Amino acid sequence: MNPPSSPLADVIRARRTVKSFTGQPIARPALEALLELARWAPTHRLSEPWRFYCLEQPAIAALARYLVAEPQIAQVPDPAKGAAKLAKLLERLPGAGAIIQVTWVRADETAIDLEDHAAAAAAVQNLLLAATAAGFASYWSTTAALVHPLTLRWCGADPAREGALGAIWLGMAAGAPPTVPARRPLADRLTYVSAVDRP
């Protein structure tokens, strides 16, 4: 059977991770339009646990200065590699049109916390697909320096109450889009459960 074709299916297949951007800024109304769609993710108990901390380009530049000035961040994920990873991050940051730090409000009960984590991840997927549909490139990053509690606090989050989903980089892609990665056949990941086979 041929995969279904529709505008939504085309956007889902077109989304790619892009790590090189032109530096063109993204206007605030465009960012808010993307986040408006992100917040329509499914959320158990209607908790809407996601939180968005949006860094426009002046804030990205200020964040870069903070990362350089904060010695603890240069030590992650380990002292031997932290400085090199931070240098690479600092080289990339000016290219981003915007960066959105996404967190979820932690719940005391493990089952609810897992549900809320999943809901926030669904909001991220909405955001990535909305960005693709709008012509923006995106990158879901969990780079240690960006999800560090000190960085989250600098962005306005409360690491004592919020967990980090990651930093969503947005912008215009520099260069050709990445090649389409191979995906395993659906049959390798699909099991039909037949009532006939069950007692």
Q: How confident is the model at residue 39, as a pLDDT?
A: 97
157-191 pLDDT, tens digit each: 999 999 999 999 999 999 887 787 888 999 999 99
Tokens 């699909």 correspond to: 190
**CATH number of the CATH domain containing 174:** 3.40.109.10
pLDDT number for residue 195? 79
Please name which of 115, 138, 111 lies closest in space to residue 41, comparing C-alpha atoms.
115
Q: What pLDDT score was predicted for residue 2?
A: 60
Contact 178, 17 (CB under 8 A): yes
- Structural domain span for residue 99: 15-197
Which pLDDT score is estimated for 3? 64
Number of domains in the chain: 1
**43 lies in some domain:** yes
Name the residue among 30, 139, 51 with its Cα closest to residue 102: 51
Give the pLDDT score at 82.
Answer: 79
1 within domain boundaries:
no
Whether the pTM exceeds 0.85: the reply is yes
Residue 10 lies in a domain: no
Q: In the chain, which residues have pLDDT < 50?
A: none
Examine residue 123 and state whether it is found in any structural domain, yes or no. Answer: yes
Is 6 part of a structural domain of the chain? no
CA distance 171 to 127: 13
The half-sphere exposure of 104 on its side-chain side, counting CA atoms within 13 A, is 23
26 inside domain:
yes
pLDDT in tens, 73-82: 877 777 778 7
